[in-house]
Structure 1
């Protein structure tokens, strides 16, 4: 039986309260509203203040903004939603967020998705406390964003997104989205597909119209019928082309919504049409199947301009709108025009022939709200399911793979150029065991998303160039080492490494074991990522970086003095010279002897070991608890030191006295520590320098601390090897010792 999948939150009607509250008070929307009603006060959001910090972060306002509430000098009788939320309610203001408005327009075409984003338990009627809330999908979970209704205005008019009527749902939605991303300015510039995902949690696909598949018309037709969100745009080659108008009235670099698709009878033939909407609410296509609008003053009409049969005349008080109906529409039966919802209004929405659509628009973006809609995009794959983290999970699990690629473990994605760093990225084992129905291969989709980059704009962050590669693995359930990438090519990879929020591609590979590796293009870049994997048939994934395992050597038992070997006798003599009469070594004495011995070694270059390092060593080896090393403790440590020094020298090939942090995984595993990516990243942040290098002293401290923590844990986890239980006294003692 095929496996079905629906995006979380879109099955049937939304469930109130299933989104995570984001307000700083930890109160839900309803709790905050009831508190305001009980106190008789108007809600004011302390998390998104009505001041310039919520507007801009890199510029000063050019005009004096005044924050006002609906019904107070904006309009007399505000409405939240009047006659249903539709795409014609949306008019762009003075903010460059056409991409967001295009996504909102597409959202209005799907009632279930719209009801999820805009909860229906609010308005300007009974229970109105000037508080509203909206819900957005963010990296595997739904968030509930609460706002007040104070809006930026100038001369009593809204500055940003607004409606032609007294509706405020779209204006307040824009404010909630601005709060989610830190400010209104953070919404400048973007791709409609980004907001579409935030409105639905769907999975996206991008088409280039010039390279679209043969069945592109059917793809778009079924996508719109199933409720997918669809946008389109014209690429720009230079910054000067942004918002430049083409001879046919289209705007370059501007985000449009695809709101309809149909066929019309024209001169005895069927013509394929696309309906497109400009979020500006005006400025339309003036080519075939268009309606050209001209605004004339009464004086021009008085001077003899006549209205012909192909013109429609409308009075707008002080001017007149002349709409020139294209010859194509005049040849279409009026009933069919009405069926296609063709209007002559200058509302930014227009029809285009499919051939013109492909010729004049460059990119089409589709956001599928549930994976059964992948059928629209791949005729050979009727259904998709989401891969679960393990074989025993249910196939409709909503769990996602989330990976953090942090400083020291993000590197170029071109393994032939940087094999020494690429292999340190997160690795996810993908087991493709079931072929597609009637096919030889297994179809799956990978979507890699950068997290919170728009929110971090105020701190100078920008979109990183990201991608991923998929390699056939030898079947071992362990992190692949760099040697494999030197001699093996990837089996599949993202089409390009690009600075978009998400890179998403579909692949078909033979059944087998694969390892998926996401990465940035440039080395040493810091960001959080959300990785989602979907497949047509059931598949199994395993995070190769998620397990932690410690395999330390047994501490040898003391050797009786009469049974010591000649080497042990010589070592005892050395210890007696260092320890003197009390036969115990202090931290200061250990510092002296270690520096004296190590500086005589010609094969290792290092700066002087610190007293702190020696105190850490004693903390690890001191079994008696007197703060000093006795002979047997010193002997065990000396064996450790020789082994650790050998590991360090293997990574310090140029004898510079440092090793690359990228070698840590291999070195630590050789020392008995199998750590996940998160722990490795913490170690890098703590012990590596700005060049991501570790000196011998840092390396020694790292191993001492790791072994100390591991041995304490092993001693305390006698009943259950995965957990320990500590009271506050034990916890403080433990942390102070480590």
Structure 2
């Protein structure tokens, strides 16, 4: 499923996971149901979301419905219905009676990315081939991609017109069917009446949204928007609060829009910054400067005016960035590539998610409010985060960008029956480790101030924050704004390299106390090791590594051969001296500690070796992207006859893989490929 499609991301979302689907949704096998209908010669009728008023809702929406409401299939509404057409204009949807502009604004942003849209909306469905009145869509729901199956009976008025989402092309029905599937996911059509654009972005992509209050917009807002519109992002925005009333300037208050473009133009020899927006209604547009009828277009060259101006009441319009900041309240950017705001390019990231729960009386500890409150705060779920990242192409550590996302699960089958809790998370630095199987005690929180904390607890589906952290160990504590509030949540971490797990739970810990203690006291140990020889060769490196205690690997201690140490030295030796210095060895040791933690985590049976599936998981944990074919070849190359890889072989593989990645990043011009002269190719193949 889509979030980031770059091959440099280690989270591959192209594979849909039906295992562990949300318990709120009925389990329906799309293929089996379709085949049964085709065999029986009937059209599918979904009893779990029937063509009755119960699927519409039970509140005020019923009062808006036209008389003689009917449910009809697209084959009954048009002589030549199509599910989707790539030839049609992408932004072809119009809002109906339902107040779900937030959903439609997000959907229109999604439609600008064909590959991502096709993952949410399988485009190979049709009303001809294997048509059985059944359709399937995919949504990211509480940490998992889940399929939602519906029949194609849609609510229409007496004239046969769709009363909710429709297309300007009357024979296209993908939008209406997707809206029905989303209504089923949320409980009913009425449960789509109110919402945030960021909620729909999350459900469509599993991405992390950044919300910017335009009254407090950063100075580089234009740069952010420019990178976003030309990158892989979904962008929505919202006007100031209101009742969806059309104002004199043509905007609708309390309304969501899609931002679909930016353009820098020149007027009177000075730049003007324009943004292009679309109203989900498919009509009603801005009437100020740079609107369709504005005279400001005469300030442009005829060619530029012809390219940009389109005089048509289709809901699309231009306005200046300054007017945008004045008349709109929120800007929501869903990140589909890493480092949007930090302007990082061509880097590899890894992703980890953990599920948790706030339970009254045990884990719903509430926030830190006073010393007394800290006695309950420690009861909240606690997650250990070990951040480790070398700067690409260099062997010293620098601060790492870490993106943390906290998503709370809906507390009712119907999305709007219970409001979201106000949530947030705290981050603490770990100067030492207590016990990796028990929660940190109240004393820790009395003695340590958080590095990051929620300034305001937000009643949102997701809250996120981008942090710059020095390599080391941290504690993340998610909580609600009040103690004893119950809900489930997903805590996600995105970074270059990290190990992330819950402590005090039944899950197997990644680090042992001995590992941490050994790392903390390394400077004194390393100084003694190098006091006689400021530089060590492969034989000395072998002796040192074999003398050290590898506490995290259990009873099986690794044995480094001279050949292995020569290979390690070749990868670590930056000045081709045939030796490594104490600083180079310190960096090597930190890498070995990371590899040891990952190896220990995946070696679940403590055999001292990794099999095929364990190796794949370990490589993913380290943050390296290798295809399954290459991973299998590496297992054959570095493992024994039984295809079991020991720790030393795992270290050699990881060091080579990281060095190869670093070389590629240094040589590539576009992130897609490189061109090598013969000597460069020989050096690369022999070196790695």
Relative to the length of structure 1, the TM-score reads: 0.62
The Cα of 1:29 is off from its aligned counterpart by 2.1
Show the 5 A alignment for 1:375-414: 375-379=339-343, 383=347, 385-388=349-352, 400-408=353-361, 409-414=363-368
Match of 2:530 in 1: none
- The answer for unaligned runs of 5 or more in structure 2 is 1-5, 509-688
Question: What is the deviation of 1:92?
Answer: 0.7
Structure 1: unaligned runs, 5 residues or longer: 292-324, 389-399, 550-738
Superposition deviation, residue 439 in structure 1: 8.0
Aligned CA distance change for structure 1 residues 24 and 452 (closer, same or farther; 3 Å): closer
Cα distance between partner residues in 2 of 1:345 and 1:353: 19
> How many Å apart are 1:229 and its aligned residue?
0.5
Q: Which residue of 2 aligns with 1:488?
A: 448
Residue of structure 1 aligned with 2:503, choices 524, 534, 544: 544
2:56 is equivalent to residue 102 of structure 1:
no
Aligned to 1:432: 387
Change (3 A) 1:198 1:509: same
What are the within-5 Å matches in structure 2 for residues 121-520 of structure 1? 121-155=124-158, 156-166=160-170, 167-236=172-241, 241-291=242-292, 325-340=293-308, 342-369=309-336, 373-379=337-343, 383=347, 385-388=349-352, 400-408=353-361, 409-416=363-370, 418-434=373-389, 440-453=398-411, 455-457=413-415, 460-473=417-430, 474-476=432-434, 477=436, 478-520=438-480
Shift of 1:60: 7.1
The answer to which of 70-79 and 483-492 deviates more is: 70-79
User: 1:297-337, CA deviations, whole angstroms, 9 ceiling, x for partnerless residues?
Assistant: xxxxxxxxxxxxxxxxxxxxxxxxxxxx2111233234323
Question: Structure 2 CA distance, aligned partners of 1:24 and 1:448?
Answer: 22
Distance 2:450 2:21 in 1: 42
**Structure 1's 334 and 29: CA in aligned 2 closer, same or farther, altered over 3 A?**
farther
Aligned to 2:119: 116
In 1, distance between residues paired with 2:374 and 2:273? 50
Whether contact under 8 Å (1:235, 1:253) holds in the other structure is yes
Aligned positions of 1:669-684 closer than 5 A: none
Query: What is the CA-CA distance between 1:492 and the residue it aligns to?
Result: 0.9
Q: Is the partner of 1:492 in helix, strand or coil?
A: coil
What is the aligned partner in structure 2 of residue 29 from structure 1? 30
Shift of 1:74: 3.3
- Alignment partners' CA distance in 2, 1:327 and 1:512: 58
Which of the pair has more CA radius of gyration? 1
Which residue of the partner structure matches residue 658 of structure 1? none
**2:665 alignment partner in structure 1:** none
Report the Cα distance in structure 1 between the residues aligned to 2:245 and 2:443, rounded to whole angstroms.
50
SS of the residue aligned with 1:356? Answer: helix
Hey, what does 1:75 align to over in structure 2? 78
* C-alpha distance 406-24 of structure 1, shift in aligned 2 (>3 A): closer
The answer to whether the 8 A contact 1:68-1:74 is kept is no
Residues 1:94 and 1:518: Cα distance change in structure 2 (over 3 Å): same
Q: Which residue of 1 aligns with 2:582?
A: none
Distance 1:200 1:71, change over 3 A: closer
Residues 251 and 285, structure 2, Cα contact 8 Å, conserved in 1: yes
Question: How many aligned positions are there?
Answer: 490
Greater Cα shift, 76-85 or 101-110 = 76-85
The whole-number CA distance in structure 1 between the counterparts of 2:138 and 2:238 is 26
CA distance in 2, matches of 1:43, 1:33: 7
Preserved contact between residue 354 and residue 501 of structure 2 (Cα < 8 Å): no
Q: CA deviation at 1:205?
A: 1.0
Contact 1:436 1:443 in 2 (8 A): no
Cα distance change on mapping 1:56 and 1:255 into 2, 3 Å = same
Change (3 A) 1:362 1:454: farther
Secondary structure, counterpart of 1:346 in structure 2: coil
Give yes or no for the alignment of 1:4 onto 2:8. yes
Report the Cα distance in structure 2 between the residues aligned to 1:530 and 1:20, rounded to whole angstroms. 14
Residue 639 of structure 2 aligns with which residue? none
CA distance in 1, matches of 2:252, 2:381: 41
- Summarize the Cα distance change of 1:277–1:38 in structure 2 as closer, same or farther, 3 Å threshold: same
Partner residue, 1:673:
none
Shift of residue 353, structure 1, vs aligned partner? 1.3
Query: Does residue 89 in structure 1 map to residue 87 in structure 2?
Result: no
Cα distance 1:487–1:222, how it changes in 2: closer, same or farther (>3 A)?
Answer: same
1:453 and 1:254 map into 2 onto residues whose CA distance is 26
Residues 157, 20 of structure 1: alpha-carbon distance in 2 compared, 3 angstrom cutoff? farther
Structure 2 CA distance for aligned equivalents of residues 193 and 44 of structure 1 = 32
For residues 181 and 161 of structure 1, the distance between their equivalents in structure 2, rounded to whole angstroms, comes to 16
Give the Cα separation in 2 of the matches to 1:33 and 1:227. 34
Runs of 4+ in 1 over 6 A off after TM superposition: 16-25
Shift of residue 489, structure 1, vs aligned partner = 1.6
Distance 1:17 1:402 in 2: 16
Distance 1:24 1:257, change over 3 A: closer
CA-CA distance at 1:76 after TM superposition: 3.5
- Whether the 8 Å CA contact 2:68–2:157 is kept in 1: the answer is yes
- Kept in 1, the 8 Å contact 2:93–2:167? The answer is yes
Q: Deviations over 1:504-547 (max 9, x none)?
A: 11111333221100001012111110110111x21222311223
Spell out, residue by residue over 1:544-588, the C-alpha distance to the aligned partner (whole angstroms, 9 max, x if none).
122389xxxxxxxxxxxxxxxxxxxxxxxxxxxxxxxxxxxxxxx
- 8 Å contact kept, 1:375–1:382: no
Cα 1:546/1:3, change in 2 over 3 Å: farther
Q: Check the 8 A contact 1:21/1:27 in 2, yes or no.
A: no
SS state of the match for residue 166, structure 2?
A: coil
Contact 1:21-1:143 at 8 Å conserved across structures:
yes
Distance (whole Å) between structure 2 residues aligned to residue 453 and residue 231 of structure 1: 26
Q: Deviation of residue 116 (structure 1)?
A: 0.5
Partner Cα separation in structure 1 for residue 268 and residue 18 of structure 2:
53
For residue 180 of structure 2, give the secondary structure of its aligned residue in structure 1. helix
CA contact (8 A) 2:249 2:288 kept: yes
What is the rounded CA distance, in whole Å, between the counterparts of 1:72 and 1:384 in structure 2?
A: 47
Residues of 2 paired with 1:111 and 1:524: CA distance? 44
Residues in 1 aligned to 2:473 and 2:78: alpha-carbon distance in whole angstroms: 62
Q: Is the 8 A contact 2:186 2:415 kept in 1?
A: no
